[in-house]
């Protein structure tokens, strides 16, 4: 693959599993820190709502990426079993998906075009 190729590198299943494992460990660590932070705020009677909201947003973002990776891995397993569909961009499509998880292209057939 050339240095200036137009297609981004597609992560392998092992790369996705490693990323998911690291994200799960990060999630557990951040969740413990959030609990400790909340406890210290309670002890010192100084509650900083903005800080709590920021930390919760970080956790939600980690959970969203973990769910996305899990769906990709499950979709890849389904593709191997069922010889599943591939989007025009080359990304594997999940069963029941209405949009491509990679490029966002609509997968619903337009009845007016038939």
Residues whose CB falls within 8 Å of the CB of residue 20, separated by 6 or more in sequence, listed in order: 66, 69, 70, 73
Q: Per-domain residue ranges for the chain? A: 13-83, 86-114
Helices assigned H by DSSP within 1-111: 13-43, 49-82
Please report where in the chains the tokens 């909340």 appear, as a residue. Answer: 38
pLDDT in tens, 48-104: 999 999 999 999 999 999 988 888 888 765 544 445 677 777 777 766 677 787 788
The answer to pTM > 0.75 is: no
HSE on the CB side for 16, CA within 13 Å? 18
Q: Read off the pLDDT of each residue in 33-49 and give the average, rounded to a whole number.
A: 93
Please tell me what DSSP assigns to residue 105. Answer: -
Q: pLDDT confidence of 110, banded at 50, 70, 90? A: very low
If 0-12 CB within 10 Å is exposed, 13-18 middle and 19+ buried, where does residue 38 land?
middle
């Amino acid at each position: 693959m050339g240095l200036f190729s137009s297609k981004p590198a597609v992560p392998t299943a092992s790369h996705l599993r490693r990323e998911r494992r690291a994200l799960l460990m990060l999630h557990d660590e951040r969740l413990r820190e959030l609990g400790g932070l909340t406890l210290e705020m309670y002890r010192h009677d100084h509650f900083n709502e903005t800080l709590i909201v920021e930390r919760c947003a970080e956790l939600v973002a980690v959970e969203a990426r973990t769910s996305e990776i899990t769906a990709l891995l499950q979709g890849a397993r389904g593709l191997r079993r069922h010889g599943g569909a591939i989007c025009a961009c080359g990304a594997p499509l999940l069963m029941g998906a209405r949009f491509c998880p990679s490029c966002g292209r609509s997968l619903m057939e337009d009845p007016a075009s038939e």
